[in-house]
Amino acid sequence: MSHQDSSAPTGSLDSQGTTNAGYSSSTVPMIAQRDSRDSWNKKMDFLLSVIGFAVDLGNVWRFPYICYQNGGGAFLIPYILMAVFGGVPLFYMELALGQFHRTGAISIWKHICPIFKGIGFAICIISLYVSFYYNTIIAWALYYFYSSFTSTLPWTSCDNVWNTPNCTNYFGTNNVSWDNYSHSPAEEFYTRNVLEIHKSSGLRGVGGLRWQLVLCLFLIFTIVYFSLWKGVKTSGKVVWVTATLPYVVLFILLIRGATLPGAWRGVVFYLKPKWEKLLETRVWVDAAAQIFFSLGPGFGVLLALASYNPFTNNCYRDAIVTSLVNCMTSFLSGFVIFTVLGYMAEMRNVEVEDVAKDKGPSLLFITYPEAIANMVGSTFFAIIFFMMVIALGLDSTFGGLEAIITAVMDEYPQYLFKRRELFVLGLVIVCFMGSLSTLTHGGAYVVQLLETFGAGCSIIAVVFLEAIAVSWFYGIQRFSNDVKAMLGFAPGIFWKVCWVAISPAFLAYIIVSSLLDRHPLILFDYKYPDWSITVGFIVGASSFIWIPVYMVYKLVWTPGSLKQRLAVCMRPERTMREPHTDSLSMTPVP
């Protein structure tokens, strides 16, 4: 990478004293990066990393469920609108920010609006909470993957030691008597063998550790460590497998699902529009939340991954391409899921709606495995399905932890720049230890609590403030000039309007609706007690609280009157490169 590509160009001065990027020569923040900063080996390494992060387990389990719950084919209208006016602009904004400033989620704020630096710390804490439960779900998939290497899948029959008298097998049996107490073999395998949740009395008594799951999680984190320890040079190679394998498996499962009897019933149920649903506010909220969590702005991952790009990389095209790939993957996953649900409905002689009630992990670990178990070649399809689930999960884990690694290392380079391997090892150990509560007999209850509160409204509020800070405090014109300096053209009026008004309104809409429309938290007939909901809100607040805490800290320790302090804290700092060195010197913008 040339010197010009490795730092933001300051431009030449014209007769009015302005740079070719459109700034005043006395106010342009001269961004400097370390010449020794890592960079992607290939452009495809970056694209696959971004796609791998954005395309995660939620594309397989969340989108199909939300789609049929909210009007089938009619749901695509609010989904597309929310993507165009909310999700994609935020996605583009983060890629551009990361690429221009070439730094992580913490130190980037000294170049944008220093008083908002707490956003970076909040992002890191949220990513840490996500790692505590998300990798446990991958460990469950690894347990299933190992259990699939048998001639007869263990969740096929009710003849196993973990089964109860209530176990009832739909398939291969005539005149099955099914009541409210009946459980399928797949359900009992998941709850009584994988989780052993029956040995827990709830959050007050989660029970002991499941050593099998501890071992699975240890293997997962081992893979994660050796994928991340050397930086994007190693993770960029790993994603060639983990980001492409799910698409191969999805197409295999789609072809197999389309040939199953009753598959058409599932597809019709999936796509049949219910236009009256568009009048319900909940549908639009779900569409906004789905596209936001699917694309993943606000987690610091896009900032981190883009920061290793060449300065002139076309991040605009990258944002459009990767967003389209992500949304199309969600849509394709719906066909993969619902062809199988249609087959299950055909075999049970019931409506598709009756077999499409499961959501979240239950769809991956009960409904779909049950259908696979009764296909010809069930062992093969189980192996590749759970291989796909593991790959989808690993990609997102790589992104989430890289966001923390890049943010912290860029903030404290004097301590960590030459100690990346040790820092990554320490981070992985912290994540493993933090996950232990999710590996108990009642670990599924902890997973649900962390998923609901650890990265729910907190991350939406964080990215809302991020959009406000960039568009209103840093300035939309200054940000547009940054993009022009990189790409040679400025963003159009559509993008500017989205960044200034529509995207923040989109996020505020999700936050308010989520806070006003709270539902009881229930898992496997266990209703979460009120104290656990309070704990959940404390967990959510523990990340967001760093934003106002840092604001107060910054104002207190900045010299001058209150007006002077506010002016300094909201103004980007100037970063100067010392000649012939990689060191940075910081001076405030005059």
pLDDT, tens digit, 9 for 90 and up, residues 122-157: 999 999 999 999 999 999 999 999 999 998 899 998
The pLDDT tens digits of the residues spanning 476-533 come to 999 999 999 999 999 999 999 999 999 999 888 888 887 777 778 888 888 999 999 9
How long a stretch of residues is the chain? 590
- The DSSP output letter for 300 is S
**Is residue 356 over pLDDT 80?**
no
Q: Report if residue 11 sits inside a domain.
A: no
Domain CATH code at residue 546: 1.20.1740.10
> 10 Å Cβ neighbour count for 4?
11
Any binding-site annotation on 88? no
Any binding-site annotation on 55? yes
Q: What is the mean pLDDT of the chain?
A: 85
Q: Bridge partners of 24?
A: 18
Cα–Cα distance between 176 and 348 in angstroms, integer?
9
Torsion of CA 398, 319, 363, 241, to 10 degrees: -50
Query: What percentage of residues in the chain have a pLDDT greater than 70?
Result: 88
Any binding-site annotation on 395? yes
Q: Which residues contact 572 (CB under 8 A, 6 or more apart)?
A: 29, 110, 111, 112, 113, 114, 474, 589
Cα–Cα distance between 112 and 478 in angstroms, integer?
10
Q: Report if residue 4 sits inside a domain.
A: no
Any binding-site annotation on 39? no
Cα–Cα distance between 66 and 43 in angstroms, integer?
34
The pLDDT tens digits of the residues spanning 221-257 come to 999 999 999 888 888 899 999 999 999 999 999 999 9
Mean pLDDT of 301-322: 94
> 10 Å Cβ neighbour count for 226?
14
Is residue 517 classed exposed, middle or buried when 0-12, 13-18 and 19+ CB atoms within 10 A define those classes?
A: exposed
Model confidence pTM above 0.75: yes
Q: Which residues contact 425 (CB under 8 A, 6 or more apart)?
A: 225, 229
Q: Which residues contact 71 (CB under 8 A, 6 or more apart)?
A: 273, 274, 275, 276, 277, 278, 283
Q: Contact at 8 Å (CB) between 187 and 358? A: no
Q: Report if residue 347 sits inside a domain.
A: yes
Any binding-site annotation on 283? no
Q: Report if residue 9 sits inside a domain.
A: no
Q: Report if residue 457 sits inside a domain.
A: yes
> How many domains, in total, are found in the chain?
1
Is residue 367 classed exposed, middle or buried when 0-12, 13-18 and 19+ CB atoms within 10 A define those classes?
A: buried
Return the closest-CA partner of residue 59 out of 336, 454, 366. 336
- Residue span of the structural domain in which 128 resides: 43-588
Any binding-site annotation on 392? yes
Residue 526 has phi, psi (to 5 degrees) of -95, 115
Query: What percentage of residues in the chain have a pLDDT greater than 90?
Result: 54
Q: Contact at 8 Å (CB) between 386 and 371? A: no
The pLDDT tens digits of the residues spanning 441-458 come to 999 999 999 988 988 788
Q: Contact at 8 Å (CB) between 303 and 105? A: yes
> 10 Å Cβ neighbour count for 184?
22
Any binding-site annotation on 182? no
Q: Report if residue 380 sits inside a domain.
A: yes
Q: Report if residue 8 sits inside a domain.
A: no
Q: Which residues contact 563 (CB under 8 A, 6 or more apart)?
A: none
Q: Report if residue 3 sits inside a domain.
A: no
